[in-house]
Amino acid sequence: MARAETATAAGERRAQGEAETADAPAVRGRLAAVETMDPNKLGVLLFLSGEVIFFGLLVLAYVYYRGQVLAGGGPNARVLDIGKTTIFSVCLFASSGTIWLSERSLARGSQTGMRAWLFATIALGAVFLVGQTLEYKKLFDEGVTIRTGQFGTTFFTLTGFHGFHVSIGLVMLTILFGLALRGAFRGPHSSALESISYYWHFVDLVWVVVLSVVYLWTLFS
């Protein structure tokens, strides 16, 4: 009886050892993937993970106070020009496509295409910022500021921080464009371009949420 139990235990240990041995290559592969990941991309992804929480809290704050603002009868999202904002938003969304095309052009070895699509990305992002600036001016002229009740505070905080992130992205893209003009990107891939592309796509995704919650929700409510 004791020998049978000993044999059974030994068999289980062998089976466990074989399973661990079989899993070892997969584990080593995952660890190697993490260790060999480009530090620039990893840094951007870690930064963006924190930004997801930051913007998530801003959106939740806007949603939380939205009902109180509408019930209070003061300035609310109905003062916004949803039509014009949608037009400028399309420019920002299109810039995600142009920066992707810039990466594809570089991968194909087309320096001219890479520069052209990168410039188009900068131009589209700048158009969006101009649109946001004009919207702010219109609201200021109507007496709606960040101090005008809960709507002003939550709206300008949410959209203002997003606009700030777009501005930072444009600065980085402009630096990339300057380097591209000097022929700094030779290989089929660029860690700098891909890392900033992650950031830019994130900025666009955040605006999808903001446009839906702040503007379109008001249009269909």
All residues at 6 or more sequence positions from 119 whose CB lies less than 8 Å from its CB, including other chains: 177
Higher pLDDT, 78 or 58: 58
The lowest-confidence range among 6-15, 50-59, 123-132 is 6-15
Position 221 scores a pLDDT of 64
Q: pLDDT per residue over 165-200, tens digit each?
A: 999 999 999 999 999 999 888 878 889 999 999 999
Identify the CA nearest to 121 among candidates 209, 67, 200.
200
pLDDT at 163 over 50: yes
Position 217 scores a pLDDT of 83
Higher pLDDT, 116 or 34: 116
What is the topology classification, in CATH, of domain 38-220? Four Helix Bundle (Hemerythrin (Met), subunit A) (1.20.120)
Q: Model confidence at 32, in pLDDT bands (50, 70, 90)? A: very low
Place of tokens 């660890």: 31
How far does CA 19 lie from the centroid of its chain? Answer: 40
Contact 210, 159 (CB under 8 A): yes
Position 33 scores a pLDDT of 46
pLDDT at 203 over 70: yes
Q: pLDDT per residue over 67-119, tens digit each?
A: 776 555 556 677 888 889 999 999 999 999 999 999 999 999 999 999 999 99
Contact 159, 105 (CB under 8 A): no
Q: pLDDT per residue over 128-146, tens digit each?
A: 999 999 999 999 998 888 8
Tokens of 103: 């990466």
Tokens of 166: 């777009």
| 3-class DSSP state of 3 | helix
How far does CA 2 lie from the centroid of its chain? Answer: 63
DSSP 37: S
Position 29 scores a pLDDT of 47
